[in-house]
Structure 1
Amino acid sequence: MRLANSNDIPALQQLIALSVRGLSKGYYTDAQIESAIKYIFGVDTQLVKDGTYYLTEKDGVITGCGGWSKRNTLYGGDQHKAVEDPLLDPSKDAARIRAFFVHPGYARQGIGRKLINTCEDAAQANGFSTMELGATLPGVPLYEALGYTAVERIDAPLPDGEVLGIVRMRKELSVKW
């Protein structure tokens, strides 16, 4: 695992599309999947600039990516927002778990768990005691297994008329001694 850098962005965009197409079947329609790749899912370069976006590799293949954010956006890549996010206040706001995607050929091998643990530790080291995320439907079981609870269902309308179901989830971090 390592921090992503700007040179990784094209490969990460490919991984994200591969992940969504491979792991979202049965949760979303093909039209929802393609619309979400176009309008929501992608790299948020602010996370890369902030040094809070990680990737995992095995034998030269990027197997997963994900990060945490000290900014307001709950989900979505660069194409989903127009301006830089305002910073969150760790004393009252929850840090965000953002843009988690795993290569379908490496799913269910602990990559997501490893990335989440790294992000939670980093957010906690930066003063946050609560995490929040916008989960895709295929991601909900992983996040539940890691102690996140559903707060609300969001039906995100997309510009082409499709609607993507997302679940806002939250977790209080344990105090580490």
Structure 2
Amino acid sequence: MADIPALKALINESVMVLQADDYSEAQRQAALGTVFGVDTQLILDQTYFVIERDGQIVACGGWSYRRTLYGADALAGREDNTLDPKVDPARIRAFFVKPGWTRRGLGSQILTACEAAAEAAGFRRFDLGATLTGIPLYQAYGYEPIETTQAQMAGGLSLPIVRMGKALS
């Protein structure tokens, strides 16, 4: 929980810089704190990972055994009831990398750790809500698009989110 201020700063910087080619500034600003942001339930569940370099968090991401697919604490409509690993896919959640630290395999390291932890918990399938920016990473690891939805935000804005899935072979 002590890392929350650093996580918020990392998420804000990541969204505003790295997602600039895929979303307008208005969309990115509206999404911060609701669609994008810290989900303390992941921290409490101990399913959220960070990578530090020189005492600074440079990447974060996690997985969940709860129904919510994406979003921060303030996102309306959260569903924190637990999933059944026999029938439900685990959720891959909240991946962000600090600008200047991309293309170093940090997202891949966290994704691999998340999948391994979810598999150890009995899950055989994974779902996630990808940003347009994140799609290439997830496709490289075998995730397939399922559907595109629109996250509704303040000011009548929306943000496309691509639900993707993967099953273990």
Give the TM-score normalised by the residue count of structure 1. 0.92
Percentage of pairs with the same residue: 52
Instruction: Give the alignment partner of residue 149 of structure 1, picking from 144, 147, 159.
Output: 144
What letter is aligned with 2:116?
D
Instruction: Give the alignment partner of residue 120 of structure 1, picking from 115, 124, 134.
Output: 115
Q: Is the 8 A contact 1:70 1:95 kept in 2?
A: yes
TM-superposed CA distance for 1:84, in Å, is 6.2
Paired residues, number: 169
TM-superposed CA distance for 1:81, in Å, is 3.9
Runs of 5+ unmatched residues, structure 2:
none
CA distance in 1: counterparts of 2:145 and 2:78, whole angstroms = 28
Matched, 1:136 2:157: no
The aligned counterpart of 2:164 is 169
Matched, 1:29 2:24: yes
What letter is aligned with 1:127?
G
TM-superposed CA distance for 1:38, in Å, is 3.6
What letter is aligned with 1:110?
G
TM-superposed CA distance for 1:82, in Å, is 6.4
Instruction: Give the alignment partner of residue 97 of structure 2, picking from 102, 105, 111.
Output: 102
The aligned counterpart of 1:10 is 5
CA distance in 2: counterparts of 1:84 and 1:72, whole angstroms = 5
The aligned counterpart of 2:86 is 91
Q: Is the 8 A contact 2:35 2:151 kept in 1?
A: no
Q: CA RMSD in A?
A: 1.1
TM-superposed CA distance for 1:159, in Å, is 2.3
CA distance in 2: counterparts of 1:115 and 1:25, whole angstroms = 23
Deviant stretches of 4+, over 3 Å: 81-84
Which structure's residues are more often helix, by fraction? 1
TM-superposed CA distance for 1:104, in Å, is 1.0
Matched, 1:159 2:150: no
TM-superposed CA distance for 1:22, in Å, is 1.1
